[in-house]
Chains A and B, each alone.
Chain A
Amino acid sequence: MAVLDILTYPDSRLKQISRPIKVIDEALQQFISDLEETMLAGPTSAGIAAPQVGRFERLVIIDVSFKPNIPNHGRLVLINPEIISHEGSVVGREGCLSVPDFTGNVSRFERIHLKASDRAGKTQDYDMLGYEARAVQHELDHLDGLLFLDRLVSRRNSLFRRKVHNQVDLPKQ
């Protein structure tokens, strides 16, 4: 077990696209344990993505169970995660372990349907909502070399709506 170093922007490696994981072997299990330890060692965070520690593979861990009274699935290891469908959008404030001392408002899908392999290699799917859905979208962005800085919505004159239906944001690449 080891706490890994977290890359921080402007390290250009954070902007690269991570590759899919083909084999779930002992080395990967060891890495997952290290990534989990790294997430727990830092400031309270809702998740961490493999590229944040310099491993450019499509793997994230999320856990929003520390927040009281919100729907969540506990701690999840998501391998090759994919958002299958989404609904609504909502603006919320985000920060990032890889972007110290700055937070900003970002628009995310309000609900997502997610497919991913778990640690045992079994395909799972999840319906997620709100804060947990936001955490997943933040971490998945890391796999595509995107930071929340790429999605900031302007403070001034931005409508801060909790729910905006009939308005679908497409992920921009």
Chain B
Amino acid sequence: MSDWYMLTFVGRDRSGIVAKVTSAIFEGGGNLGEASMVRLGGNFTIMLMVQYDGSGESLEKILSPVCDALKLWKHVDRIEGELHHHLEPDVRISIYGADRAGIVAETTGALAEAGLNILNLESDVGGTADTPIYIMEIDGVAGKGIDVLETALDRLAREKNVETRLVPIDTLMG
């Protein structure tokens, strides 16, 4: 049975990164799983599950030429990975406000205490250089129920001067 690896790539964004990296993996005998690929601050970042019948060292060798050519920093970790084990989020939380040090730590800290298990978090900095704003969207599982999260969000809004919104996710199966 093949092992799963988590591959991380970071480099200056340029066209063709995804195609070239995934081609190298495919031609080297790797099988792609779940992935997150996004441009962050002018860099392109990839986190990618790959199933590969060989050692981490030989996987690194397969990746080296494409990473050198594209000037990508890479990292390979063997993981305990499995596909078809998605957790369903039951809540989406949006938080935004004037950007300042500690905003993410404070908000996610309070939410963790209120039972939130984060499945997906996307955040961005908008506004202007002088008055940046921080925007965060989280999909997660409300481990202690939605009421507890609502209370925590109300307190955050009051004490930390951020705007918060919680929308229950009611997945329709049909």
- Chain A residues with CB under 8 Å of chain B are 43-49, 62, 67, 92-97, 101-103, 131, 134-135, 138-139, 155-157, 160, 162
Pairwise interchain contact B88-A96, C-beta atoms closer than 8 A: no
Check B174 against A45 for contact (C-beta < 8 Å).
Answer: yes
The 10 closest A-B pairs by CB, nearest first: A138-B174, A45-B173, A93-B171, A47-B174, A46-B174, A95-B173, A94-B172, A101-B84, A93-B169, A46-B172
Distance between Cα atoms of A92 and B120 in the complex (Å) = 16
Question: Chain A binding site: helix, strand, loop or mixed by DSSP?
Answer: mixed
CB-CB nearest in chain B for A132? B172
Closest to B38 in A: A156
Using an 8 Å CB-CB cutoff, how does the interface string of B124-135 with A read, 1 for contact, 0 for none?
Answer: 100000000000
A100 CA / B88 CA spacing, docked (Å): 13
Give Cα distance in the complex from A62 to B170, angstroms.
Answer: 16
- Among B94, B167, B174, chain A packs the most CB atoms within 10 A around the CB of B174
B137 touches A138 (CB 8 A): no
Query: Shortest distance in angstroms between B142's beta carbon and chain A's nearest beta carbon?
Result: 14
**A96 and B86 contact, Cβ closer than 8 Å, known pairs A155-B120, A156-B38, A160-B167:** no
Q: Judging by beta carbons under 8 Å apart, are A95 and B170 in contact?
A: no
A94 touches B174 (CB 8 A): yes
Q: Report A66 CB to chain B, min CB distance, Å.
A: 11
Interface flags, B29-72, vs A, CB<8A=1, else 0: 00000000010000000000000000000000000000000000
Q: Measured between alpha carbons, how far is A162 from B92 in the docked complex, in Å?
A: 11
- Residues from chain B with a CB closer than 8 A to the CB of A95 are 171-174
Tell me the nearest residue of chain A to B137, going by C-beta. A160
**Among the listed B120, B122, B169, B173, which residue makes an inter-chain contact with A46, where contact means beta carbons less than 8 Å apart?**
B173
Does B174 contact A96, Cβ atoms closer than 8 Å?
yes
Chain A residues with Cβ under 8 A from B171's Cβ?
Answer: 92-95, 103
Using A43-B173, A46-B174 as known contacts, list a sample of 8 further A-B pairs with CB atoms less than 8 Å apart, ordered by residue number in A: A46-B173, A95-B171, A103-B171, A131-B170, A131-B172, A135-B174, A138-B174, A160-B92
- With both chains docked as a complex, state the minimum distance between the C-beta of B162 and any C-beta of chain A, in angstroms: 17
